[in-house]
Structure 1
Amino acid sequence: MKTVAISILGTTKDRRGKSDKRWNKWRPNISMCQHDDLLIDRLELLFDNHSKNLADQVTEDIARISPETNVVHHRVNFNDPWDFESVYSNLLDFARDYAFKPDQEQYLVHITTGTHVAQICLYLLTEAGYFPGRLLQTSPAQKNSNLPGQYQIIDLDLSKYDQIASRFQREHQEGTTYLKGGIETNNQAFNQMIEQLEQVSIRSDAPILITGPTGAGKSQLAQRVYELRKQRGKLEGGLVAVNCATLRGENAMSALFGHRKGAFTGATTHRPGLLMEADKGLLFLDEIGELGLDEQAMLLRAIEHKRFMPFGSDKEVSSHFQLIAGTNRDLIQLSREGKFRADLLARIDLWTYRLPSLRERIEDLEPNIDFELEAFSTKSGHLVSFNKAARERYLNFGRSGEASWSANFRDLNASILRMGTLADGGRITTQVVEEEIHRLQIKWQSPQIKSSLPFARIETLLGRDRIEQMDYYEQIKLAGLIQVCEESNSMAAAGRKLFQVSRTAKKSNNDSHRIRQLLDKYGLKFDQLNKT
């Protein structure tokens, strides 16, 4: 395999006059061809129009000391050799036009000559792979030495250097541990997913899609990705997080993209919007499947072009943000139904990671219990732990078929919070555990307990994920409210049934207003409930 060197002519270091005294002085491009253990078969010599005579002299001198080296001239004119953009562009054009043959030749990029700007550009282009080779650094020989100089070949494949590779591996492990919240998880599939996500978080700023059931930890993972990227200097801005399920109608457009004063009734001031707040930072859109089609279209443009139009404005604004989207819904199915744009899905589906439920990684129950206990202890200011029998009882129940962990890690967090609060002297006893198991059994057996009430109806109206975030008591109240509204022909009639006692204590009875307020809390309208 032939060795080809690519080098810029040194207009100062290679210029040593025309007398024989020039042979007593170190000249980078000449000495590069004088080493017995480094045979240069071809030298691609780059110079501008003003250095033709010097290039000819260097070529003749190389022919004298290394006749086997073929010197090929290339005219590369730098308008300003100290202008980074100009120099980089010229060298990039040279690299793209050059017919590299890496299967037949090995390339050495000489970074000793040229301005410091040119040397930096050669380094960057080699690191990026535009010059498919290694770096060659030459230097004068030590004093009183008859050698032609010294050289060092630098391979930018850092994985070949044991110490650097070891450090990369250590940083990768630290990043992976950080994304897992410091929890030593045991589920192999989950660990492999997090290991890849760590690499993607550091190396890519493309959108990331995190799927999985409610309570699986999507928000926490997005927060850690942001903090990891911030630590590694990949982001300057902040983290902006929003649950798209809370955005409806004009409020969604305004919240995401901002609005101008007077854009609609009530728009009394300018609002920058969440995308603008996320400039140079990270935008986490949880439950992205809840966005309307209009918002989806604008979001797609903002992702692809980093530009969008605030509501009510006639001028575009720009924001450079990274997007992490979260969802517990099947976006592919929504796309088939026309409820989610296929082009937006294709854009955010580059890196997709599904977080498994707690049941799917039940082997990680114990380390997550320890994590929640430590978090509770830190927050409460005193150490809380299980006694041996209580821990064993709780673990056995948590791993059994009785434990559905329907809200996943939210269930676990709430469970540890309750037991920690009831732990006298910081010790969770078997009695505390038995009481907690009873609470969880009631919660998870709720479909049978609730069979007499229209719980299926409220799940249809609000969605299962939102229902699971409500207390059982609140679910009962809402189910009763809906049932009465569906049986009544007006809000006033429903109010008379529901407030038959409290309304008598009021001077003015506006039963319709009270019903409307209750329904508004859940985003419901009487017309969609009334059956008559």
Structure 2
Amino acid sequence: MKHRCFDADALSIDKDSGLSHGIKMRPTVVIGFVGSTLDASKIGPSRWNKWRPTVGLCMHEDLRVDRLELIHGDAHEGLARYVRGDIGSVSPETDVRLRALNFANPWDFEEVYGKLLDFARSYPFDPEAEDYLIHITTGTHVAQICLFLLTEARYLPGRLLQTNPGRGKDPDCVGLWSVIDLDLSRYDSIATRFAAQAAEGSSFLKSGIETRNAAFNRMIDEIEQVAVRSRAPILLMGPTGAGKSQLAGRLFELKRLKHQVSGAFVEVNCATLKGDSAMSALFGHKKGAFTGAAADRPGLLRAADKGVLFLDEIGELGLDEQAMILRAIEEKKFLPVGADREVSSDFQLIAGTNRDLGATVAAGGFRDDLFARLNLWTFELPALRDRIEDIEPNLAYELDRFAQREGMQVSFNKEARRAFLDFATAPDALWSGNFRDLGASVTRMATFAPSGRIDVATVEAEKARLKRFWTGGSQAPDPLAELLDDAALGELDPFDRVQLAEVVRICRRSRSLSEAGRTLFSASRTRRTSANDADRLRKYLQRFGLDWARIGA
């Protein structure tokens, strides 16, 4: 009797797993269906000239099957016993156990999956002591798909086993076998493609900008994974202008490209929804529901059906609207204003806020149950001043946006570019409006650029303009309030308080104690022959019970 095995590449995979002949290994258990057609044969010697998958898998010299769990329906019990007998004659060491499992309709996916799931949950698996192979060559196509899905989900803690009759004209009752490991990282070409696709998805979310901030890049990688694997709400936190709205739009486009949504992207600034109009705008209303309701209005939630709803500044919503949003997320249903019948909308929610929602919950301004629902996937976008290494790649992006919008290509000359970057990345550059500030700044310089080239004079004018914006706005919050208690603050003279507050602000915009010292003592340090600015700053902070680590925290 002739024995054939699979190709060398597949063999090397299984040797690593301890499945090949001659290696001390754990017992191997195969789970599969009896094949009502493929495993059937006429009684007599001629049956050994036919490939029968279940019998053949027990005849390989390089695959030892210690136990075979053979699933069958009552109608095929005789065939299962016949197959067990033949296996006993060619592989007496294989323990064949018949498992009766009946389906009213073997082509009903829900029934087949449900009963196989029950089988998997009740089976006494012991992955520490046994290796499991799930044979997917036999059974209906529905059964094979269900076995694949249950293995992929780890309800069946094994690997997929495929058998086939081999190639060539000579009859072969043994055939070939191969194991599919669902850990795709083990397959170099597939892993490389997946890595490239993941990088492509992350680049897409960043609008193709080659960002350099490592923490931001890691966060975008995580968001990309969540976006393609989950439909749960996503919460984007961060200051105004950090890019929450743009990122939400790119998330929608990514999901649309992957055919995960078919509806629209609906963006709502919740800060603009006030009073009775908020309910109507979000959930719609029936004609005559209130004065001025001259026609039915579907509402923004229904407009986002099968798509993505982005609720920017969700912390501005009233408590009643929050309650209805929570029910719409969980049950996909809500009641329009003035209606007596619920409507449905199946959307994915992305929420944005510049508030600390945890603190808002504690103050009673935001529902804790809605916050808990949103807080599964929470990502905090950093301010621009915390990503100063990303200012340079964003310059090119903003110039491209200007060119697309205005139809005119503009660039920096070398000196002007250096001058702007030195100013933009300095510790005292506030960028209080974050990327909105940067985008507006580039637009102004590009508009005023003579002959399409931004020169040093244009940059100097913009620097002065930005400084006026940053110093002429509303008073910034006192950084000392979160570092010192009321008693310590009360002991400070107004002179010391103003000076210390500015020192803390400079420290928080600096990457190190030394950089902060150089900024704070930039004039006096040039008049000294020896200077240790970091030590000088450290001693100053110690006067008030502060240190670098505490300020950074």
TM-score (norm 1): 0.82
Equivalent-residue separation in structure 1 for 2:95 and 2:222 (angstroms): 46
Q: Deviations for 1:478-504, whole angstroms, at most 9, x for unmatched residues? A: xxxxxxxxxxxxxxxxxxxxxxxxxxx
Q: 2:136 aligns with which of 108, 111, 125?
A: 111
**Match of residue 195 from structure 1:** 221
**Match of residue 280 from structure 2:** 254
Q: Deviations for 1:212-247, whole angstroms, at most 9, x for unmatched residues? A: 111111100111111111112221211111000011
Structural mapping, 1:54-73, within 5 Å: 54-73=79-98
**Match of residue 83 from structure 1:** 108
**Match of residue 291 from structure 1:** 317
Matched, 1:166 2:192: yes
Equivalent-residue separation in structure 2 for 1:211 and 1:117 (angstroms): 44
**Match of residue 96 from structure 1:** 121
Structure 2 counterpart of 1:285, one-letter code: L
Structural mapping, 1:170-249, within 5 Å: 170-249=196-275
Q: Deviations for 1:407-441, whole angstroms, at most 9, x for unmatched residues? A: 11111111111111111210112221122112112
Does structure 1 retain, via aligned residues, the 8 Å contact 2:242–2:382?
Answer: yes
**Match of residue 403 from structure 1:** 429
Equivalent-residue separation in structure 2 for 1:423 and 1:289 (angstroms): 40
Does structure 1 retain, via aligned residues, the 8 Å contact 2:410–2:452?
Answer: yes
Does structure 1 retain, via aligned residues, the 8 Å contact 2:165–2:172?
Answer: no
Q: 1:269 aligns with which of 295, 315, 329?
A: 295
Structure 2 counterpart of 1:135, one-letter code: L
**Match of residue 519 from structure 1:** none
State which drifts further: 281-290 or 296-305: 296-305
Q: Deviations for 1:180-222, whole angstroms, at most 9, x for unmatched residues? A: 1111111111111111111111111111111111111110011
Equivalent-residue separation in structure 1 for 2:259 and 2:103 (angstroms): 32
**Match of residue 549 from structure 2:** none
State which drifts further: 324-333 or 426-435: 426-435
**Match of residue 316 from structure 1:** 342
In structure 1, list runs of 5 or more residues that go unmatched: 457-532
Does structure 2 retain, via aligned residues, the 8 Å contact 1:138–1:150?
Answer: yes
Q: 1:9 aligns with which of 21, 34, 49?
A: 34
Equivalent-residue separation in structure 2 for 1:426 and 1:380 (angstroms): 12
The structural deviation recorded for 1:97 is 1.7
**Match of residue 501 from structure 1:** none
**Match of residue 359 from structure 1:** 385
Task: Decide whether aligned partners of structure 1 residues 251 and 303 sit closer, same or farther in structure 2, where only a CA change above 3 A counts.
Answer: same
Runs of 4+ in structure 1 off by over 6 angstroms are none
Does structure 1 retain, via aligned residues, the 8 Å contact 2:228–2:255?
Answer: yes
Secondary structure (helix, strand or coil) at the match of 2:267 reads strand
Q: Deviations for 1:307-360, whole angstroms, at most 9, x for unmatched residues? A: 222222222222211111000011111101111001110110111111111111
**Match of residue 420 from structure 1:** 446
**Match of residue 76 from structure 2:** 51
Does structure 1 retain, via aligned residues, the 8 Å contact 2:332–2:344?
Answer: yes
Matched, 1:154 2:177: no
Q: 2:153 aligns with which of 124, 128, 131?
A: 128
TM-score (norm 2): 0.79
Does structure 2 retain, via aligned residues, the 8 Å contact 1:402–1:441?
Answer: no
Does structure 2 retain, via aligned residues, the 8 Å contact 1:141–1:147?
Answer: no
Does structure 1 retain, via aligned residues, the 8 Å contact 2:49–2:173?
Answer: no
Q: Deviations for 1:147-177, whole angstroms, at most 9, x for unmatched residues? A: 6111111111111111100111111111111
Does structure 2 retain, via aligned residues, the 8 Å contact 1:389–1:430?
Answer: yes
Matched, 1:33 2:58: yes
Q: Deviations for 1:261-304, whole angstroms, at most 9, x for unmatched residues? A: 22222112111111111111111000000000001111111111
Secondary structure (helix, strand or coil) at the match of 1:6 reads strand
Does structure 1 retain, via aligned residues, the 8 Å contact 2:235–2:350?
Answer: yes
Q: Deviations for 1:343-382, whole angstroms, at most 9, x for unmatched residues? A: 1101101111111111111111111112111211222222
Secondary structure (helix, strand or coil) at the match of 1:86 reads helix
Secondary structure (helix, strand or coil) at the match of 1:35 reads coil
Secondary structure (helix, strand or coil) at the match of 1:415 reads helix
In structure 2, list runs of 5 or more residues that go unmatched: 1-25, 478-553
Structural mapping, 1:322-361, within 5 Å: 322-361=348-387
Structure 1 counterpart of 2:350, one-letter code: I
Q: 2:308 aligns with which of 276, 279, 282?
A: 282
Task: Decide whether aligned partners of structure 1 residues 404 and 434 sit closer, same or farther in structure 2, where only a CA change above 3 A counts.
Answer: same
Does structure 2 retain, via aligned residues, the 8 Å contact 1:6–1:107?
Answer: yes
Equivalent-residue separation in structure 2 for 1:146 and 1:394 (angstroms): 76
Secondary structure (helix, strand or coil) at the match of 2:247 reads helix
Secondary structure (helix, strand or coil) at the match of 1:130 reads coil
Q: How many residues align?
A: 451
Q: CA RMSD in A?
A: 1.6
Structural mapping, 1:380-459, within 5 Å: 380-447=406-473
Equivalent-residue separation in structure 2 for 1:68 and 1:347 (angstroms): 54
Equivalent-residue separation in structure 2 for 1:245 and 1:416 (angstroms): 27
Task: Decide whether aligned partners of structure 1 residues 325 and 132 sit closer, same or farther in structure 2, where only a CA change above 3 A counts.
Answer: same
Secondary structure (helix, strand or coil) at the match of 1:73 reads strand
Q: Deviations for 1:64-114, whole angstroms, at most 9, x for unmatched residues? A: 111111111111111112222222222222112212111111111111111
* % identical equivalent positions: 58
Equivalent-residue separation in structure 2 for 1:15 and 1:392 (angstroms): 79
Structural mapping, 1:454-473, within 5 Å: none
The structural deviation recorded for 1:7 is 1.0
